[in-house]
A and B are shown apart, each in its own frame.
Chain A
Amino acid sequence: MSSVPRTRPHVHHLAPLRRALSSCGLVPSSMPSAGGLGRADDAAVRPASLVGDAVLSSFPCGPPVGCPEALGFLDGIQRHQIVAYDGPSPLVLGWVAAGVLLRTGRELKPTMAGTAQLAIGRETVLAKAADALHGFEVLPLEPPDDLHPAHDLDVARGMVDRRRAQLEEEIGQRFRATSSAWLLIDGSLSHSTAWSQDPRMLGIAKSHAILPFDGRALTTYLQLPEGCRTSLFRPATRGGRETFSWGLRLREWMGKDPFHGLVRIEAAPTEETRRRASEYSQWILAERSPLSAPDVRWDRQLYGMRAVERYLGAILGE
């Protein structure tokens, strides 16, 4: 047996190399987890404007403190499936669900949920399938640019996505109609006027496909230490409502990727938000536990959100 050369290539044995890179001034990291960045084709930098601070800075938020009040979690899920073709055109079925779990004490209780079933396809397809689609919301596919079936699917998926967002908003409104409890929303508040102005709502964005900064500010943003938040900023939205936002690092990221444990919080653009951003951050830090594993985005997915997803999954019969 000949001795193994020290420089032998090894896919997994990277620690010594990471140490060496660290002494070169880099931060040792690993690949982002699946979906960590959101969909790559949407990825973009849209610079935001800072609120108050001149440069983007980071602040320790203080220790995690559970929200002292009842706290709701709102989330939605969506599923789609091709069930038939008419020639090259698929018939896509979509299911969406949204709901709220309200936490009182330490127990999560389902308080509200809604679902919708969608049938999406070209007019011709829908016409043929009409008799079989009782109970489905039938959505015709906008006339496409080309006939590639993969494209049809993408468009349909986008429609399902929008329907989910719409359902989430409905549920959020219904919830707010009956309760003034704090509500955490999975994602951004900026799609909804009501949400963006709700003083007791926080949006938790896990996706970083759109980055609010570049240059040095981006480095600050991505190297935010665990338990710290950034200065407040106004995200640049395309036609969205104004919100105040800040980055929050839930977990130690060194040795992982820069997005590990990084969430972006949104809240109503108010003075109160400016005052209480650290307090809200403390609440959200407290939500790191229980861990939402085995969710792939366990590093930034809140346990409550995951619970809502599972609850909705069960409703959809998964």
Chain B
Amino acid sequence: MKQQAPIPPIGRVVATEQKPSTPHQFYFWTARSSPIGIGAIVRVDSDERVIHGVVTDGFAYSDLETPLDAVIGAEGDPAGLIDPTARSEIRLYLAAVLRHHPEEPLQPVPLGAVHLATDADVTVALRMDSFTDGEESTGIPVGVYAGGGLEAPVYLDADFLVGPEAAHLNITGVSGLATKTSAVEFLLTSIFQTFPTQKGSVAALCFNVKGPDLCFLDQAGSLEETDRNIYDRLGLVPEPFAAFQCYAPYKADGVNLNTLRTHPDLEGNTRPLVWGLRQVLDYAEVLLNRDDIDAKAGAFIDFLAERVVGQEFRDDSLRAKPFRVETFADLEEFFRAIFDWMEALNRGGEIWRTHHIATIRKVRNRLGNISTRSKGLVTDDGEVHDLPWGEFTDRAVYTVDVAGLDPLAQDLVFARVVSVLKEQLERRTLGVDHVIVFVDELNKYAPSDGPETYVRKMLLDLSERGRYLGLVLFSAQQFRSQVHRRVVGNAGTALFGRMDNDELTMGGYSTLSAAIKAKLATLPKGELMIRHPHFTQPIFVRFPRPAVLTGRDGVQRFPPSPDLPFPDAVARVLRGMDSTLSTEEIRDLVAGRRAEDVRRSLHATQRSRPDDPMAYFRACLGRAVVAESRDMRRGIPGVRSAPDPYA
């Protein structure tokens, strides 16, 4: 394993009583001009051992004993004559050991020559040989390690990124400079292109929580030459995601989508996300722990979910005809019947089937609240548009755009989507073996403090148990310290972009040297520090710009269509399905019709995707029947005189 060094050493290990070598770190000095820097990977060659390490700190010394000497030397004048001789200065670096060879017996690093790492050294140092060698490589390129003129690919181990050994990824860094979102986008590309076939299929579901961030993943972005080189070096093809669908709820008007991806050219794979009472009720829990809802309310909701909604519910005391509650409107009718019944009882009408009227009212208000605050997501007419459950496809990205939603509705979307993913992965009916769920702004959904919420519990559960199911959480936030410890702690892989200084003073970063912190605080765009189970030390890599359009460029290239007046918005949706339709024709058709009816018909048409959308829509909507005024007429008396044939 002894490496043949084609280049002379750049430094030598030094060990003194003050600064001894240990099995996990060593000092070495270099020439002042040496290209070494923090994060550089080096190799120490000695007779019996080869050690790889990564530079974690650096020191420069001169022979000056006290600053006073400098002052005296310059005669107190900083602007004085420049010294004819530069003070001698030395460079000393501290490196953390990445790997020993042989690994046993584990010994202090010997006094050897220090070399800059080669490609092969990087592979060995990061233990990537253990998972990238051989037929069934599980290496997922994450970027290039750049040091000393070298650009060596760095791989993550799919078994530790997507499971089952470990899973999840978290990325931290300040807004705009840390390239968090970009890094995840790039990594998804990398995973989709290199995820080993023997490990099965994989899809990604991204929650878009901020502006247009993740809305244009199917569109090519602009790359620079340097980016293309990195893609090349990593063996990846810079192209946007071929299989992409964006799901967004409607705005309150029920026809304009609540997303910034509304440009007509992108309508093909922009779909509405609309849920009904059933979908909401199953996740009513989400909304409950937000407030002070108690077990009694929970019990009543369970009763509704199990006994009333979506089935025939008979209660002759309320009314003779059975209830069939499918929509919020039906539910309201049901509630009204209960309240009427209670009123009719005058006194003692406090309890209905063991549920107290106050509880019933509370639940009704809460559920009513959902349908108001989630207007556009939750429909009243029973038409449901959902994610393609059971039909997820390999290497497809599904963006769920919740950026414009009320926080309550966002929680609902998170809770339901993740729960259904979990259920379906458990039953293996989702259509793919693994799903990567990307949650940006994690600090909002799994904060380190604040009340226990359903969404946080769910994210925690996902981070703890998801890997057994193939459910993988990729998350990002500006401040890791503001996120629930165990949620980030469970991420097998952690990425760090440019960091905020205050954040770096938090406890979680105490193992990092001051130099690494300084580097993190000034990290340029496109560079990341990585912790990964195979790497015994954090490693710095550079990754290329993602091959997709950024949100900002996206809205420029595909400006969102302005919100249209209701009839025009309807026309736009229909024309999206059949471009030969005329807006005029559709406008005429819906003129004067009730918005609810138009919406219902439109949703039904979108859901069925018929060959002739207009005909289908027209049929759903029905022909308008105009009024004809009738006067009373007298009949002609013709046959009156004839005998009654049946008399």
B85 touches which of A64, A298, A303 (Cβ 8 Å):
A303
The answer, among B64, B74, B81, B84, for a CB contact under 8 Å with A106, is B84
**What does DSSP make chain A's interface, helix, strand, loop or mixed?**
loop
For B81, list chain A residues within 8 Å (CB). 64, 66, 286, 289
Rounded to whole angstroms, the CA-CA distance of A273 and B207 in the bound complex is 85
Name A107's contact: one of B64, B73, B82, B86 (CB within 8 Å): B86
Cα–Cα distance between A78 and B473 once the two chains are bound (Å): 69
Whether, in the assembled complex, A52 has its beta carbon less than 8 Å from a beta carbon of chain B, the answer is no
Decide yes or no whether B629 CB sits under 8 A from chain A: no
Question: Taking the nearest CB of chain A, how far is it from the CB of B184, in angstroms?
Answer: 48
Q: How far is the CB of B119 from chain A (nearest CB, A)?
A: 34
Given A108-B88, A307-B88, check contact A289 B65 (CB 8 Å): no
Query: At the interface, yes or no: A169 with Cβ under 8 Å from chain B?
Result: no
Which chain A residue has the least Cβ–Cβ distance from B71? A291
Contacts of B84 in A (CB 8 A): 66-67, 71, 103, 106, 286-287
Residue A294 lies at the interface, judged by CB distance under 8 Å to chain B = yes
Quick one: given A64-B81, A66-B81, are A290 and B87 in contact (CB under 8 Å)?
yes
- Cβ-neighbour of B70 out of A67, A106, A286, A290 (below 8 A): A290
For window 37-74 of chain B, which residues contact chain A by CB distance below 8 Å?
63-66, 69-70, 72-74
Contacts of B69 in A (CB 8 A): 290-291, 293-294, 298
Residue of B nearest to A294 (CB): B65
Contact B63 A289 (CB under 8 A): no
- Closest B residue by C-beta to A103: B85
Interface size on A, residues (CB 8 A): 21
**Which of A287, A290, A303 counts the most B-chain CB atoms under 10 A from its CB?**
A290
CB <8 Å contact, A291 and B70: yes
Q: Smallest CB-CB separation from A63: which chain B residue? A: B81
In this assembly, does B612 line the interface, its C-beta being within 8 Å of a C-beta of chain A?
A: no
A310 at interface by CB-CB < 8 Å: yes
- Are B63 and A310 interface neighbours, CB within 8 A? yes
Task: Quote the shortest CB–CB distance from A296 to chain B (angstroms).
Answer: 12
Task: Flag whether A304 is at the interface (Cβ < 8 A).
Answer: yes
The answer to whether A288 has its CB under 8 Å from any CB of chain B is yes
Complex Cα spacing A67 to B66, Å: 27
Q: Chain B's nearest CB lies how many Å from the CB of A238?
A: 35
CA distance A67 to B85 in the complex (A): 10
Verify A106–B86 contact, CB threshold 8 A: yes
B65:A108 contact, CB within 8 angstroms? no
B85 to A287, Cβ gap below 8 A? yes
Q: Is B588 an interface residue (CB 8 A)?
A: no
Given known A294-B65, A310-B63, contact A289–B74 (CB-CB < 8 A): yes
Q: Is B83 an interface residue (CB 8 A)?
A: yes
The CA of A64 and the CA of B66, in the complex, are separated in Å by 24
CA distance A293 to B88 in the complex (A): 13
Q: Of the candidates B66, B83, B88, which one forms a contact with A289 in the assembled complex, judged by CB atoms under 8 Å apart?
A: B83
Please indicate the chain B residues that have their CB under 8 angstroms from the CB of A287 in the complex: 84-85
Q: Could you tell me which residues of chain A, from 57 to 88, have a CB within 8 Å of some CB in chain B?
A: 64, 66-67, 71
A293 to B70, CA, bound (A): 9
* A101 nearest in chain B by CB position: B85
CB distance from B71 to the nearest CB of A (A): 9
Task: Give CA–CA (A28, B157) in the complex, Å.
Answer: 77
B78 → chain A, closest Cβ, in Å?
12
What residues on B are CB-neighbors of A310 within 8 Å?
63, 88
CB distance from B604 to the nearest CB of A (A): 83
Contacts of A66 in B (CB 8 A): 81-82, 84
In the complex, what distance in Å separates the CA atom of A304 from the CA atom of B85?
A: 7
Known A-B contacts A108-B88, A307-B88; A290 and B65 likewise in contact (beta carbons under 8 Å): no
Contacts of A294 in B (CB 8 A): 65, 69
* Closest B residue by C-beta to A307: B88
Q: How far is the CA of A298 from the CA of B69 in the complex (A)?
A: 10
Report the bound CA distance from A184 to B65 in whole Å: 25
Contacts known (A293-B65, A294-B65, A310-B63); A106 close to B73, Cβ less than 8 A: no
| A86 to B63 Cα, complex, angstroms | 42
Q: How far is the CA of A103 from the CA of B81 in the complex (A)?
A: 17
Cα distance A204–B86 in the bound complex, in angstroms: 20
Q: How far is the CB of B419 from chain A (nearest CB, A)?
A: 68
CA distance A289 to B63 in the complex (A): 13
Cβ-defined contact, B72 with A291, below 8 A? yes
Q: How far is the CB of A181 from chain B (nearest CB, A)?
A: 14
- Alpha-carbon gap, A304 to B80, bound state (A): 19
Residues 263-293 (chain B) with a chain A CB within 8 angstroms: none
CA distance A298 to B73 in the complex (A): 10
The distance in angstroms between the C-alpha atoms of A108 and B87, with both chains bound, is: 9
Of all chain A residues, the one with the shortest Cβ separation from B87 is A290
Q: What's the minimum C-beta distance from B308 to chain A, rounded to whole angstroms?
A: 88
Contact with B along A279-292 (1 / 0, CB 8 A): 00000001111110
CA distance A41 to B71 in the complex (A): 36
Residues from chain B with a CB closer than 8 A to the CB of A291 are: 69-70, 72-73
- CB of B524 to closest CB in A, whole Å: 31
- By a CB distance below 8 angstroms, the chain A residues around B75 are 289
Q: Which residues of B contact A106 (CB under 8 A)?
A: 82-86
Tell me which residues across on chain A come within 8 A of B83, comparing CB atoms: 106, 289-290, 303
Chain B residues lying within 8 Å of A103, measured Cβ to Cβ, are: 84-85
User: Would you give the shortest CB distance from B490 to chain A, in whole angstroms?
Assistant: 52
Q: How far is the CB of A287 from chain B (nearest CB, A)?
A: 6
Q: A216 to chain B: closest CB distance in Å?
A: 31
- Residues of chain B touching chain A, judged by Cβ–Cβ distance below 8 Å, are 63-66, 69-70, 72-75, 80-88
Given A289-B74, A290-B70, 19 new contacts (CB under 8 A): A64-B81, A66-B82, A71-B84, A103-B84, A106-B83, A107-B86, A286-B81, A286-B84, A289-B73, A289-B80, A291-B72, A291-B73, A293-B65, A293-B72, A294-B69, A304-B85, A307-B85, A310-B63, A310-B88
| Interfacial residues, chain A to chain B (CB-CB below 8 A) | 64, 66-67, 71, 103, 106-108, 286-291, 293-294, 298, 303-304, 307, 310
Sample (7) of A-B pairs whose CB atoms are under 8 Å apart: A290-B73, A290-B85, A293-B66, A293-B72, A303-B83, A303-B87, A310-B63
Give 7 closest A-B pairs by Cβ, nearest first.
A66-B84, A291-B73, A289-B73, A106-B86, A293-B69, A294-B65, A291-B69
